[in-house]
Amino acid sequence: IEQVTSQMEKREKSIIDVIDNQLFNHINHDILGKLKISELKFRMRRRARIVKQLIRGN
């Protein structure tokens, strides 16, 4: 019974570790995606400003 209990605890821990890793991977991908989107928005706004300045200058 102790061996079975020990094995079940090990399996439970490994399952929890796998779930934690999956969650962290999803969270990291989500954060990276948001950072990339904000970087793209920043670049687009900067380019839009430059285009407006060029149009006004000409």
* Token pair belonging to 34: 């948001």
Give kind and range of the element (H or E) at residue 8: helix 2-57
pLDDT digits (tens, 9 = 90+) for 19-43: 999 999 899 999 999 999 999 999 9
Q: How far is CA 58 from CA 1, 40, 44, 52, 54, in A?
A: 85, 27, 21, 10, 6
Provide the pLDDT for residue 52. 92
Confidence of residue 18 (pLDDT cuts 50, 70, 90): very high
